[in-house]
């Protein structure tokens, strides 16, 4: 069969690759660094299972997800857990509870080259690898198959991913497993692994050493500074906030490397597709913002309620309103705009260093802006004199 979905609509969740009974689907990276399913025609038996599990073609929403979710602000009472987490450490507490019960946790981890992929863990010592946000798209690989096997064994699984990854897992499984608990987060958009790796390549050249750790939203300068820290083998440390780090500027200010489908995300607003939704609780009351990280917890199902209730002795929790979430995080309802210069920037990374490509495009856009203003000014002037 032919590809059933346009590349600019595909989320790259990998459900199609996982479901294919003949291994006839490969996830192939395009020139911008985003992967898409490609069918190996010699292997394909035209069963159309790939199309049936695509969460874009056939969204799998259930009436068990509340259209009026309960919302909380909270954090872990363990100071180390809170500090080493992106927000307030709520995900870590949820994951610890599942692991204590003998279950499994699946989330995004760094590879040896600091790209990101999904993994299933069974030990508390491995939780550190999943903790913290990673601002590029995670390769789900064949993790959906592994999760299905663990669920069939009767173990509880906690899966954390982007909303489209959660939706892809749900459609792949094809039924509701009582022993599966899903967590998504308020997602601004999935960044190109190509842009991220080119940024790291730039830093390695500048610091004359290999990267040994990447820590987004590092809290050494405070949670609200949104700092990025990168450690190097030679002992040097790179640390900049969201206003000076080029990678975060390209993501948050320029929107130069967000996946095309994220400009029209199908998994925004409520009801959600996961049992629990987590995020930073920005613009929360001053009394709750200690600059150490505050989590927003949205409880979307009864299953989510039970899990949150099970960790109440380990967390601080306060009931809040959904409107407060929207006040600080409009991405709950809105999709990010995709810059028309995104492809230009990503392709330029093939022959320019990240910073060179960044400043070149920034200067080009400034010049075009000045040119537009000049033409508009003199155009208006001519029309008045005529």
Does residue 306 lie within any of the structural domains? yes
Q: What is the pLDDT of residue 111?
A: 95
Query: In this predicted model, what pLDDT tens digit does every residue of 180-227 receive, in sequence order?
Result: 999 999 999 999 999 999 999 999 999 999 999 999 999 999 999 999
Q: Please tell me whether residues 281 and 308 are part of one structural domain.
A: yes
Q: Please tell me whether residues 170 and 301 are part of one structural domain.
A: yes
Q: Please tell me whether residues 218 and 281 are part of one structural domain.
A: no
Token pair recorded at residue 250: 């390209």
Q: Please tell me whether residues 174 and 284 are part of one structural domain.
A: yes
Does residue 310 lie within any of the structural domains? yes
Does residue 376 lie within any of the structural domains? no
Q: Please tell me whether residues 273 and 148 are part of one structural domain.
A: yes
Range of the structural domain that residue 210 is part of: 193-257+338-368
User: 207 by DSSP, 3-state: which?
Assistant: helix
Does residue 12 lie within any of the structural domains? no
Q: What is the pLDDT of residue 367?
A: 85
Q: What is the pLDDT of residue 321?
A: 94
Q: What is the pLDDT of residue 381?
A: 53
Q: Please tell me whether residues 163 and 226 are part of one structural domain.
A: no
Where on the phi/psi map is residue 280: left (φ > 0), alpha (ψ -120 to 50), or beta? beta
d(CA 243, CA 26): 38
Does residue 289 lie within any of the structural domains? yes
Q: Please tell me whether residues 83 and 165 are part of one structural domain.
A: yes
Count other Cβ atoms within 10 Å, centred on residue 28.
10
Q: What is the pLDDT of residue 382?
A: 56
Q: Please tell me whether residues 177 and 306 are part of one structural domain.
A: yes
Q: Please tell me whether residues 172 and 76 are part of one structural domain.
A: yes
Q: Please tell me whether residues 140 and 94 are part of one structural domain.
A: yes
Does residue 51 lie within any of the structural domains? no
Low-confidence ranges of the chain (pLDDT < 70): 1-2, 60-62, 371-386
Q: Please tell me whether residues 162 and 125 are part of one structural domain.
A: yes
Does residue 166 lie within any of the structural domains? yes
- Dihedral sign for Cα atoms in the order 69, 74, 76, 77: negative
Does residue 373 lie within any of the structural domains? no
Query: In this predicted model, what pLDDT tens digit does every residue of 23-43 receive, in sequence order?
Result: 999 999 999 999 999 999 999
Q: Please tell me whether residues 212 and 98 are part of one structural domain.
A: no
Q: How many domains does the chain have?
A: 2
Q: Is 120 exposed, middle or buried (0-12, 13-18, 19+ CB in 10 A)?
A: middle
């Amino acid at each position: 069969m032919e590809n059933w979905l346009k590349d600019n609509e595909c989320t790259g969740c990998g459900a199609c690759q996982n479901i294919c009974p003949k291994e006839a689907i490969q996830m192939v990276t395009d020139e911008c660094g985003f992967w898409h399913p490609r069918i190996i025609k010699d292997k394909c038996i035209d069963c159309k299972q790939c199309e049936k599990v695509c969460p874009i073609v056939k969204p799998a929403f259930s009436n068990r997800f509340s259209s009026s979710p309960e919302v909380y602000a909270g954090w872990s009472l363990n100071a180390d857990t809170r500090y080493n987490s992106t927000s307030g450490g709520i995900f870590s507490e949820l994951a610890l509870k599942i692991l204590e019960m003998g279950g499994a946790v699946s989330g995004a981890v760094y590879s040896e080259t600091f790209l990101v992929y999904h993994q299933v863990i069974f030990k508390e010592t491995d939780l550190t690898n999943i903790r913290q946000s990673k601002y590029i798209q995670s390769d789900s690989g064949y993790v959906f198959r592994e999760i299905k096997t663990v669920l069939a064994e009767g173990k509880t699984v906690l899966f954390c991913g982007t909303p489209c990854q959660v939706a892809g897992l749900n459609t792949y499984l094809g039924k509701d497993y009582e022993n599966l608990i899903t967590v998504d987060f308020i997602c601004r958009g999935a960044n190109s692994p190509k842009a991220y790796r080119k940024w790291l390549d730039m830093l390695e050249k500048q610091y004359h050493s290999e990267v040994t750790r990447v820590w987004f939203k590092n809290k050494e300068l405070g949670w609200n500074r949104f700092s990025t820290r990168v450690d190097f083998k030679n002992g040097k440390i790179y640390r900049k906030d969201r206003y000076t780090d080029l990678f975060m500027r390209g993501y948050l200010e320029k929107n130069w490397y967000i996946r095309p489908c994220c400009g029209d995300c199908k998994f925004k607003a409520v009801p959600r597709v996961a049992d629990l939704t987590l995020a930073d609780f920005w613009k929360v009351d001053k009394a709750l913002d200690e600059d150490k990280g505050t989590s927003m917890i949205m409880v979307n199902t009864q299953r989510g309620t039970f899990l949150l209730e099970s960790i109440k002795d380990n967390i601080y929790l306060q009931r809040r309103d959904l409107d407060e979430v929207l006040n600080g995080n409009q991405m709950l309802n809105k999709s990010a705009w995709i810059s028309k210069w995104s492809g230009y920037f990503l392709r330029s990374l093939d022959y320019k260093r990240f910073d060179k490509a960044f400043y070149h495009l920034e200067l080009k856009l400034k010049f075009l802006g000045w040119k537009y203003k000049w033409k508009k000014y003199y155009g208006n002037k001519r029309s008045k004199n005529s």
